[in-house]
Amino acid sequence: MDFLAAVLKFNENFISGTTSDATSSLPYKKIVVLTCLEANLSALLSKATGLKNDQMHIIEIAGVKISNPNDSVMRSIILSICKQNAEEIWVIGHDGCSMENMDPSEILNNIIQERKQNTLLTLKDSGIDLEEWLNACGDEAENVRKSVETIRNHPLVPKNVLVHGLMMDQTSGKLNVIMRDEKEPR
Ligand SMILES: [Zn+2]
């Protein structure tokens, strides 16, 4: 049974309330988890996967959306692989994201009006698309797929590092795999 399958088995038991001491039977592997910054998500993730803090490097970003393959999120993922010996990367979105209905224009207008931030108007006038930059909403499962592709295709991510995409029910903690990396692990 591979590592993902073992954690999914643990997750099944967690959902049915039969975890007992199953965490001790999970194989030890270090992974990077890229997930949303929704409140309490990472705490539920620990319980629902049975993974320990020392084997999970959790990176939280709004909407699980990597905006740029050269940004600080990708740098953290690459350093986690190279310096912390992470062997797999799991991109985990969740249902019912509070940012799905966010309106970037409304947020920007509120900032401009409430704080009299004329600098923002100058940035907008100079052609910088702040709405697009701020926009983390939309279909979070689609964000997961795009982020998985960005990581898999990044030239500095070793090809034998597995990159999976999952969605988690944020009430029950149930995990569903939406993109399974089928290649041989390193
Ligand atoms: Zn979210």
Could you tell me if 73 and 113 lie in one domain?
A: no
Could you tell me if 14 and 65 lie in one domain?
A: yes
Give the model's confidence band at 112: pLDDT under 50 very low, under 70 low, under 90 confident, else very high. confident
Distance 93 CA to ligand 1 centre (A): 6
> From the CB of residue 17, how many other CB atoms can be counted at a distance below 10 Å?
7
Distance 62 CA to ligand 1 centre (A): 6
The structural domain count of the chain equals 2
CATH of the domain at 65: 3.40.1050.10
- Determine, yes or no, domain membership for 129: yes
Could you tell me if 107 and 55 lie in one domain?
A: no
Between 29-38, 53-62, 112-121, the lowest mean confidence (pLDDT) is in: 112-121
What is the pLDDT, as a whole number, of residue 24? 60
Sequential DSSP letters for 12-60: HHHHHT--TTGGGGSPP--EEEEE---TTHHHHHHHHH---GGGEEEEE
Percent of the chain with pLDDT over 70: 91
What is the pLDDT, as a whole number, of residue 161? 95
Query: Would the pLDDT of 181 be above 90?
Result: yes
What average pLDDT does this structure show over 53-67? 91
What is the pLDDT, as a whole number, of residue 20? 60
Distance 71 CA to ligand 1 centre (A): 19
Q: Could you list the residue range(s) of the whole structural domain that residue 125 is in?
A: 103-136
Could you tell me if 127 and 149 lie in one domain?
A: no
- Determine, yes or no, domain membership for 173: yes
Could you tell me if 36 and 81 lie in one domain?
A: yes
Could you tell me if 88 and 172 lie in one domain?
A: yes
